[in-house]
Amino acid sequence: MKTLWSGILAAALLSPVAARADKGEREEKRGERMEKQGERRERRGEKTEEKGKALEAKGAADEQKAAALRAQGKDKEKAANALERKGEREERRGAREERRGERMEKQGERREKRGQRVE
């Protein structure tokens, strides 16, 4: 009977130790996962930023086309106005995308650092 109780007591005392060891492994995996997410977010942010720059350039090109249309004459004024508005919209959208990309990149860096700390 005494051996039975000592066996139960030993199992009860060792179970928290096993749980703590398991928690360490989980924390390490979580850290690795956060690091990977951070790297992915950084890469995606860079791509978004490049996309924003391209949109801004496209908007500037549209505005130049509008100026060329205006130079052609009075009858092209309406088309030139529409093209210029389109260019301005694209530039604003490009600037927005660029800022979004920068934010994503920073967030990715922070997440990666956090993952290293957790690990």
pLDDT-derived band of residue 12, with 50, 70 and 90 as boundaries?
low
Per-residue tokens: 95: 């600037």
Q: Can you tell me the distance from the alpha carbon of 83 to that of 59, in angstroms, rounded to the nearest whole number?
A: 9
For the chain, what is the mean pLDDT?
Answer: 86
Which pLDDT does position 73 carry in this prediction? 81
pTM above 0.85, yes or no: no
73 SS3 class: coil
1 SS3 class: coil
The identity of residue 20, as a single letter, is: R
pLDDT in tens, 52-83: 999 999 999 999 989 888 888 878 888 899 99
Residue partners of 40: CB distance under 8 A and separation at least 6: 108
**Rg of the Cα trace of the chain?**
30
